[in-house]
């Protein structure tokens, strides 16, 4: 069926165009109403891939003709098209609540997107977040347009060899087989962009992906006009060396913003999903410079308030850093566009702008180019404030300007048909989408027996899937046919089924359960209360320690636990979907606080799976004793092997004494009442809270809308207010050195401390600063900051006396005074991290 591939302009036969319209829209990946059509066209292909576009691409014309001649098939097709088109114009949450806000476009940049196995341009958690939030934006009607890269190979595919070692494959992403279309100009010409680099230009091709109401634009460099070396810039996700990574991030950030401009889009908000796309803040400022004639510092001040930076990194090494000579090589010419020096450009990515040897940090550039920064869980927000302390020297860590929005997952993408039916009956089809839904009350109509039956049905479906996939995996690895056939009898559809699947990395401790192999085997060999594991995960090809962890598990399974544990290779979106739908318990064992958020455990919530996890990331917020189990003590212990051993014992003990007994404690009807009550609490309390719909609503109301208002104000009148602010900042910076404290006097009466302090102003306008009294959090008390008010001038205009009253529940020695810049338009300390302390 190549004639309806994404390059063809040939007219399509009657009925085929309607099928293309359904299949090209990735809405089918979470709205399963059309599944019966694809299953009828190609049952085997659909069963293996669950990919509507692949089904349509591989179906013969004769098969299509027969299906379209079937009145029932054609009637169902017409119904689905009508529903799709109606959905596109239906009123949404955003229309109802913020339709008059003036927010017209949010540009969302990410290095990867996990939308469907039909479009393999993701590796893991970052892409999961991006894909799920884009789907939620579609459901909610939030005006998001996404930008990413189209990789020729995507992330690697995993094979386990005869010796149990991970091997990597890189299959080619043939654009004609992907649910994408070229972006074309009004005259039909393919939209291609030119990005000039030293001595040559890179040509970028543009593609579009329909994701319900929203659109994802992808750029790639595999253009015949490019030299062979540069055609490979978008060859693979996170592949290659630093030079290749820098080029990819230039294409994403600079090329991505230029693409939006070429499409006639003028986003008020630019959302950076990690620092990879931080060059977009420079290109946005450059375009404002061209439009207004303003210098770079004014353009950055005008546009940065419309930029949001979401960091997912939990360790300093997680940020992309590039040597100065590499930045000079590839961005030296770009400084001419910005009309700044190379030194000034490098300073944007350095903690110490004067250190010529310091690498250029993309996270630092994102902070200095944004008006707001957030982590992806409450704990990660705290961790991130420590990570970015170098940019806010002398500021208390709690005041480093980084908030948090806890991640969520797009529940319709991860729920099983059985779970979907339960939720629909209890709460309706539009649950989680901004409508009020008291899940706990609504689920009262679902009996314990029905919940247990749903769990059993989903578990059995997972076991059936796992057996088939394992058999295929073993056959492809060249295992004897006897071993292949044995896969069809492995695992028990009635046994407690534990899931452990994620990227293999040392900080995730995927081998924690192997600390005491004998104790683990005793758990598995209990015939009265059987337990089984399904494990999956990839290790980065260059991470030898993680590869050894996979080998350790394979060796353990083959030698001692073949009947109770299986390792399913090539962990992808389809496998993740089946696992989270069927497992009874999801186990997660990262070292706190290195799991920024984690989303895998959120996906089991909607399906009635439970969590046993480290108190890290999202689980540190979600856990209560009635919804699951936790390990750890809520503190950080670094890489202490003794603590790893202690937490391994915690996992064994929790399984032995709590999880397993509760699962097998059945009533007369065979229902585990305590287990099902926990399932009910987890589903109704946590699924709505950790939905991507909640996350996107939070981003919209707490970040997008304020950012849009701020950027409109700063860019009005060719950036007049931004220019005034920059002038004010430059003047204060020149005079800041003169500020200091003179005499400070404390007195205490009637349970209140009174302080008076002399502040030497020099030439500083007293209206440009504010004086505060501050105390750190201590002994269970929160930190305190209170503005001191001017009392009188001393010695002409050079010294101002300030006074304040403070609570006497602390000693005066615990208080200190400080001087801060003060401007109504300025984001403090983000835009001016100056601070002067009394001591």
Predicted local distance difference test score (pLDDT) of residue 12: 66
Question: Is the confidence at residue 435, as pLDDT, over 70?
Answer: no
In this prediction, residue 428 carries a pLDDT of: 82
In DSSP terms, 630 is beta-bridged to: 613
Report the percentage of the chain scoring pLDDT > 90. 82
CA distance 216 to 94: 19
pLDDT of residue 3: 41
State how far the Cα of 133 lies from the Cα of 703, in Å rounded to an integer. Answer: 15
CA dist., res. 633 & res. 591, Å (int) = 12
Q: Do residues 419 and 604 make contact, with C-beta atoms less than 8 angstroms apart?
A: no
Alpha carbon distance 40, 49 (integer Å): 14
| pLDDT (tens digit per residue) in 387-414 | 999 999 999 999 999 999 999 999 999 9
- Six token digits for residue 492: 């028990």
Pair type for strands 144-149 and 214-220: parallel
Percent of the chain at pLDDT > 70 equals 98
What residue has token string 């003060």?
822
- C-beta neighbour count of 649 within 10 angstroms: 14
Token duo for residue 220: 């790639």
Whether the Cβ atoms of residue 815 and residue 755 lie closer than 8 Å to each other:
yes
**Contact by Cβ (8 Å): 476, 720:** no
Read off the DSSP letter of residue 785.
E
Outline where DSSP puts E strands in 623-718.
628-631
Structural domains of the chain, ranges and CATH numbers in brackets: 2-89 (no CATH), 445-696 (3.40.50.2000), 739-837 (2.60.40)
| pLDDT tens track for 288-326 | 999 999 999 999 999 999 999 999 999 988 899 999 999
Separation between Cα atoms, residue 663 and residue 619, nearest integer Å: 21
Burial 488-526 (b: 16+ CB within 10 A, else e): eebbebebbbbbbbbbbbbebbbbbbebeeebbeebbee
Give the model's pLDDT for residue 68: 93
> For 134-138, 481-485, 558-562, which range has the lowest pLDDT when averaged over its residues?
558-562
- Min mean pLDDT across 197-211, 248-262, 606-620 is at 197-211
- Taking residue 478's Cβ as centre, other Cβ atoms within 10 Å add up to 9
* pLDDT, greater one: 197 or 457: 457
Q: Write the pLDDT tens digit of every residue in 327-354.
A: 999 999 999 999 999 999 999 999 999 9
Beta bridge partners of 793: 800
pTM across the whole model: 0.96
Q: Helix (H) and strand (E) counts for the chain?
A: 33, 27
205-240 pLDDT, tens digit each: 999 999 999 999 999 999 999 998 899 999 999 877
For the packed helices 71-89 and 16-23, what is the interaxial angle rounded to 10 degrees?
50
What Å distances lie between residue 420 and 256, 429, 628, CA to CA? 37, 9, 22
Range from 159-163, 378-382, 534-538, 670-674 carrying the lowest mean pLDDT: 159-163
Give residue 458's pLDDT band: very low, low, confident or very high (50, 70, 90). very high
pLDDT at 10 over 60: no
Cis peptide, bond prior to residue 296, ω within 30 of zero:
no
Residue pLDDT, tens place only, 780-811: 788 999 999 999 887 667 899 999 999 999 99
What pLDDT is attached to residue 796? 67
Can you tell me the mean pLDDT for 469-488? 91
């Amino acid at each position: 069926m190549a004639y309806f591939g994404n390059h063809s302009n040939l007219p399509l036969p009657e009925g085929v165009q309607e099928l293309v319209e359904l299949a090209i829209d990735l809405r089918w990946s979470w709205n399963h109403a059309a599944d019966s059509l694809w299953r009828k066209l190609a049952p085997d292909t659909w069963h293996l891939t669950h990919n509507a576009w692949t089904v349509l691409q591989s179906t013969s014309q004769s098969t299509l003709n027969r299906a379209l001649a079937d009145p029932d098939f054609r009637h169902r097709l017409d119904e689905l098209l009508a529903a799709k088109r109606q959905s596109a114009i239906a009123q949404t949450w955003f229309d109802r609540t913020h339709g008059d806000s003036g927010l017209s476009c949010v540009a969302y940049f990410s290095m990867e997107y996990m939308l469907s196995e039909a479009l393999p341009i993701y590796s893991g958690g970052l892409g999961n977040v991006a894909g799920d939030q884009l789907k939620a934006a579609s459901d909610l009607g939030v005006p998001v347009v996404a930008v990413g890269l189209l990789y020729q190979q995507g992330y690697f595919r995993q094979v386990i060899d005869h010796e149990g070692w991970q091997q990597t494959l890189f299959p080619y992403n043939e654009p004609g087989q992907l649910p994408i279309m070229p972006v074309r100009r009004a005259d039909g010409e393919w939209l291609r962009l030119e990005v000039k680099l030293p001595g040559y230009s890179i040509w970028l091709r543009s593609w579009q992906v329909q994701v319900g109401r929203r659109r994802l634009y992808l750029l790639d460099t595999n253009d015949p006009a490019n030299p062979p070396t540069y055609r490979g810039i978008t060859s693979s996700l996170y592949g290659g060396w630093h030079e290749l990574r820098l080029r990819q991030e230039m294409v994403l950030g600079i090329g991505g913003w230029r693409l939006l401009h070429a499409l006639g889009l003028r986003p008020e908000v630019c959302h950076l999903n990690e620092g990879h796309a931080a060059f977009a803040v420079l290109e946005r400022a450059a375009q404002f410079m061209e439009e207004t004639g303003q210098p770079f510092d004014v353009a950055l001040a005008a546009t940065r308030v419309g930029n949001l930076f979401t960091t997912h990194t939990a360790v300093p090494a997680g940020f992309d850093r590039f040597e100065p000579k590499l930045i000079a090589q590839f961005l030296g010419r770009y400084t001419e566009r910005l009309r700044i020096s190379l030194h000034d450009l490098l300073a944007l990515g350095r903690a110490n702008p004067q250190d010529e040897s310091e690498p250029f940090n993309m996270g630092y550039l994102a902070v200095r180019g944004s008006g707001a920064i957030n982590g992806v869980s409450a704990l990660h927000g705290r961790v991130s404030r420590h990570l970015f302390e170098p940019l806010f020297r002398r500021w208390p860590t709690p005041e480093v300007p980084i908030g948090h929005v806890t991640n969520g997952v797009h529940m319709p993408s991860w729920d099983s048909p059985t779970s979907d039916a339960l939720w629909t009956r209890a709460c309706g089809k539009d649950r989680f989408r901004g409508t009020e839904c008291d899940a706990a009350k609504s689920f009262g109509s679902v009996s314990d027996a029905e919940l247990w039956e749903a769990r059993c049905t989903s578990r059995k479906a997972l076991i059936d899937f796992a057996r088939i996939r394992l058999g295929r995996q073993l056959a492809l690895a060249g295992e004897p046919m006897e071993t292949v056939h044995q896969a069809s009898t492995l695992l028990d559809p009635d046994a407690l089924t534990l899931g452990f699947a994620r990227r293999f990395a040392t900080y995730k401790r995927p081998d924690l359960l192997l600390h005491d192999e004998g104790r683990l085997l005793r758990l598995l060999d209990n015939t009265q209360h059987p337990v089984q594991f399904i494990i999956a995960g990839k290790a980065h090809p260059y991470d030898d320690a993680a590869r050894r962890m996979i080998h350790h598990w394979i060796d353990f399974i083959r030698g001692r636990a073949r009947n109770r544990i299986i390792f399913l290779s090539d962990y992808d979106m389809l496998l993740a979907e089946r696992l989270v739908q069927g497992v009874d318990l999801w186990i997660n064992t990262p070292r706190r606080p290195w799991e920024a958020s984690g989303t895998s455990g959120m996906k089991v919530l909607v399906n009635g799976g439970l969590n046993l996890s480290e108190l890290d990331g999202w689980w540190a917020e979600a856990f209560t004793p009635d919804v699951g189990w936790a390990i750890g003590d809520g503190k950080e212990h670094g890489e202490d092997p003794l603590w790893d051993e202690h937490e391994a014992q915690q996992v064994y003990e929790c399984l032995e004494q709590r999880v397993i007994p509760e699962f097998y404690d059945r009533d007369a009807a065979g229902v585990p009442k305590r287990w099902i009550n926990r399932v009910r609490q987890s589903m109704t309390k946590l699924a709505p809270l950790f939905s991507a719909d909640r996350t996107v609503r939070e981003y919209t109301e707490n970040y997008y809308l304020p950012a849009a208002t701020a950027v409109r104000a700063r860019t009005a009148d060719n950036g007049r207010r931004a220019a005034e602010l920059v002038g004010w900042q430059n003047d204060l910076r020149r005079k800041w050195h003169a500020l200091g404290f003179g005499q400070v006097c404390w007195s205490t009466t009637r349970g209140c401390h009174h302080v008076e302090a002399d502040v030497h102003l020099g030439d500083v306008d007293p209206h440009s600063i504010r004086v505060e009294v501050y105390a750190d959090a201590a002994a269970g008390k929160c930190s305190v900051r209170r503005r001191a008010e001017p009392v009188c001038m001393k010695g002409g205009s050079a010294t101002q006396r300030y006074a304040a009253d403070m609570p006497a529940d602390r000693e005066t020695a615990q208080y200190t005074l400080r001087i801060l810049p003060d401007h109504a338009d300025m984001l403090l300390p983000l835009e001016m991290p100056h601070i002067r302390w009394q001591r």
